[in-house]
Amino acid sequence: MFDLEKAIAGWREQMLAAGIKTPELLEELESHLREESGCQMKSGLNEPEAFRTAVEKIGQARALKTEFKKADISAEMQFVQLAGIACGAVAGFFSLWPSGRRGWLELPQSC
């Protein structure tokens, strides 16, 4: 008889063996797997078929790891781009700093 919990535990082992070791990532993937399995059962598939279909929809461990590596590189590039934008914004801010005045606004002299 099919045991969904054992099937999910085996699936997690496959993810670990493929190098997906981040606990938060595994939890998120498992959550998607469980959700998709539930949707497949609601559509009329039995539990083993629903699980297999959900695994196919989520993807194989190696393919997932490759995609996550791409996402990590993309995140690094986004950080580099944001850092460049921030430096440009700061440089632009200081290039516009008013010279010869005491601040941005000309306030009346006190005393």
Give the pLDDT confidence of 31-51 residue by residue, as tens digits.
Answer: 989 999 999 999 999 999 999
How far apart, in whole angstroms, are the C-alpha atoms of residue 27 and residue 92?
43
Mean pLDDT of 88-108: 54
Of residues 29 and 45, more confidently modeled: 45
Looking at residue 51, what is its pLDDT? 95
Q: Report which listed range, 2-11, 26-35, 60-69, 70-79, is most confident.
A: 2-11
How far apart, in whole angstroms, are the C-alpha atoms of residue 87 and residue 99?
21
Q: Average per-residue pLDDT in the chain?
A: 75
Confidence band of 24 (pLDDT split at 50, 70, 90): confident
The closest of 16, 14, 55, 19 to 34, measured between CA atoms, is 55
